[in-house]
Amino acid sequence: MSSSKPVGFVGLGQMGAPMARRLLDWPGGLVVHDARPEAATPLVAAGARAAGSAREVAASAEVISVMVRDDAQVIEVLCGPEGVAGSAAPGTVVAIHSTIAESTATRLARELAPAGIEVVDAPVSGGAIGAHQGSLAVLVGASESAFQRCQEVFGYWSSLAMHAGPPGAGTRAKLARNLLHFVAFTAAAEAQRLAEAAGIDLVELGKVVRHSDAVTGGPGAIMLRPTTAAVAPDDPWFGILSHVRDLGEKDLGLALRLAAELGVDLPLARLALDGFAAGLGVGPGWSTVEGEAP
């Protein structure tokens, strides 16, 4: 896109406001809108132009970011009486950063395509901290041309952009990423119950978890293969993942043994032990009998 044209941002909440703030340096300027006019005040004071509606944003911006709460608000911003579709010129790219249903993203892309409006689903990962730091990851579902037009704009508030595929793919990727995120939170709660029963300081243990995950990469450290298919014995990954399996099955077994001694129920740990080897793509090593060597 031309850097002489303004970029637009609709939705100035906890995530949208810091993302938009980083676009104040865009050469063509920044035009913003929020349902709460006061949300735009700090950005206007810093140099942005406030618009009275999403339709007004689209009257001047070629690339428009949308960060609102849910599917209903996204639909209203794009297709409502004061929505983007009412004034957007052919070639406008609208990037939806909200995490919404994949079906909503693909439907909007299909419905607005005849008007020459390219809808891009581009949910983000990294939270408010990443938004303030400009270090978000953005998972983009878009045509190749739309992705290329968005990249420079996204680079103002992100440090990693993944082109996941056509419209809808960004949302599918984000849902998979968040599945890991929130299952891991549940696992963390389970680990805390075991640690608490064992008399461990939970705050100090949390420091250890954050420290070691920063070094090892946490769960993402095993997400390096392009497939979930079983690993052939002659594949270089087989030895690496077999070693991970042996360590994981051993430690899960020992944790379950300790939990039994302390009377703590660890349902996720049992599921993890049962599915660990298969999930890695290698056959079982350590016995699936809790805490027992083969």
- The catalytic position among 5, 174, 207, 250 is 174
Residues 269 and 284: their CA atoms lie apart, in Å, by: 16
Question: How would residue 283 be classed by pLDDT, with cut points 50, 70 and 90?
Answer: confident
- Based on the fold, state whether residues 20 and 128 are members of the same structural domain: yes
Kindly state whether residue 14 falls inside one of the protein's structural domains: yes
Does residue 111 contact residue 79 with C-beta atoms inside 8 Å? yes
- Based on the fold, state whether residues 72 and 144 are members of the same structural domain: yes
Summarised one tens digit per residue, pLDDT across range 76-90 is 999 999 999 999 999
Tell me which of 152, 172, 192 is where a domain ends: 172
Tell me which of 138, 172, 206 is where a domain ends: 172
Q: Which domain does 27 fall in, by range?
A: 7-172
Number of domains in the chain: 2
Kindly state whether residue 19 falls inside one of the protein's structural domains: yes
- Three-state SS string over the chain comes to CCCCCCEEEECCCCCHHHHHHHHHHCCCCEEEECCCHHHHHHHHHCCCEECCCHHHHHCCCCEEEECCCCHHHHHHHHHCCCCHHHCCCCCCEEEECCCCCHHHHHHHHHHHHHHCCEEEECCEECHHHHHHHCCEEEEEECCHHHHHHHHHHHCCCEEEEEEEECCCHHHHHHHHHHHHHHHHHHHHHHHHHHHHHCCCCHHHHHHHHHHHHHHHCHHHHHCCCCCCCCCCCCCHHHHHHHHHHHHHHHHHHHHHHHHHHHCCCCHHHHHHHHHHHHHHCCCCCCCCCCCCCC
Residue whose token pair is 């408010």: 128
- Based on the fold, state whether residues 243 and 121 are members of the same structural domain: no
Residues 35 and 23: their CA atoms lie apart, in Å, by: 20
Instruction: Inform me whether the pLDDT recorded for 286 exceeds 70.
Output: no
Kindly state whether residue 63 falls inside one of the protein's structural domains: yes
Task: State the CATH number of the domain containing residue 135.
Answer: 3.40.50.720
**Portion of the chain with pLDDT greater than 70, in percent:** 96
Tell me which of 141, 157, 172 is where a domain ends: 172
- Based on the fold, state whether residues 123 and 27 are members of the same structural domain: yes
Instruction: Report the pLDDT value the prediction gives residue 3, as an integer from 0 to 100.
Output: 72
174 is annotated as an active-site residue: yes
pTM: 0.89
Q: From 67, 61, 72, select the one nearest 108 (Cα to Cα).
A: 72
Task: State the CATH number of the domain containing residue 237.
Answer: 1.10.1040.10
Question: What angle is formed at CA 80 by the lines to CA 98 and CA 168, rounded to 5 degrees?
Answer: 35
pLDDT (average), residues 71-75: 97
Give 233-237's long-range contacts (Cβ < 8 A, gap of 24+). 237/281
Does residue 96 contact residue 74 with C-beta atoms inside 8 Å? yes
Summarised one tens digit per residue, pLDDT across range 182-236 is 999 999 999 999 999 999 999 999 999 999 999 999 999 999 999 999 999 999 9
- Based on the fold, state whether residues 33 and 164 are members of the same structural domain: yes
Instruction: Report the pLDDT value the prediction gives residue 293, as an integer from 0 to 100.
Output: 41
| Cα 108 to chain centroid, rounded | 20
Kindly state whether residue 215 falls inside one of the protein's structural domains: no
Residue whose token pair is 């002489």: 4
